[in-house]
A and B are shown apart, each in its own frame.
Chain A
C-alpha cells in the first residue's frame, strides 16, 4: 500500500484551506485484519489522511519546497465507523503558521456527516532531503485542471 491518502483536491486556498476527497480501496490488505468480518478504516490512518490534506495546503504556498512533518496530535476524535469504498470529504484549515511550525484543524465527513476530526502540529523538512518531488503529484493534477478550467 502506498502511503498517499488524498485522492483529489476539490478546492484550495494556498496556505489557508483545502477541501479534498478520498475513497479507501476495499481490497487493501489491512482490512483482512481490521476487521475480518467488519472492515473499517483505522483511526490512525484517518488522522494521517487529514494530516496529508493539510500538508498539501501548506505545500501549495508559493516557493514552498518543504513538506510538513507531523510532530504532535493535539486532539483526534473518531465519531463513526468509516468503511472502505465510502467517499470521504476532507477539510483542513491552517490555524497558524510560522517558519518552523504550523497548526491545523481538519475534519472528515461522509455525505455531510462528521466522522472524524483532528488538531495537528507540524514542523517542516526540505523535499530534497526526503527525496520528494518539488511539487506533489496531487497538487500538480489540481493546478493543471484549474488552469484548464480557467482557460476554457
Chain B
C-alpha cells in the first residue's frame, strides 16, 4: 500500500498540535499552596486524634482487664495505635516535589522515585505494626474469652481468626517479595546506566 500520509516530520506534527496552555496567577498558586497545607494539616490532625482516642480506649480496657493475656493485648494495641497515628501523620503530609528535583537529572530522579517506592513497604514492614496489631487482636480475643467462661463467642471464632491471620500474613509476604524484585531490577538497570553515562 503506497504511503498517502504526509510524513512531513513527526516533530512538526507534534509541535503543531492544538494546545490549551495553562497559566495560573500568583494568587491562585498561593491559594493552592495554602489550601494544600491546611488540608494536609486537618487530615494529619484527625489521624492523630483517632489514634489517640483508640489508644485511650485500649488503655482503658487494659486498666479494666484482669487476665494477664488480655492486659498484654490491650497494652500492645494501645501502643500500636499511637505508633500508627505517628506514621500516618508522616505519610499524609502532601507529597511536594523534593527540593533537589530541578537540579537532579531525570535519570537520577526516576531512580530515586523507584527506590522510594521500593523502600516504602519495607519501612512499613520493618516496624512490624500489622503483625503486632493482629497479634494484639488475637490475644485480646483469647484473653477476653478466657475470662468469660462458658466460652465467649469470640473464642468460638478463634480458629477462623487464626487461619485468616495466617492467610493475610502469607499474602502480604508474597506480595512483598515479588514487587520489590521487579523494582530492584529496574533500579539496578538505571544505576548501571548512570555509571555508563557519567
Mutual binders A and B: no
Q: Residues of B at under 8 Å CB distance from A?
A: none
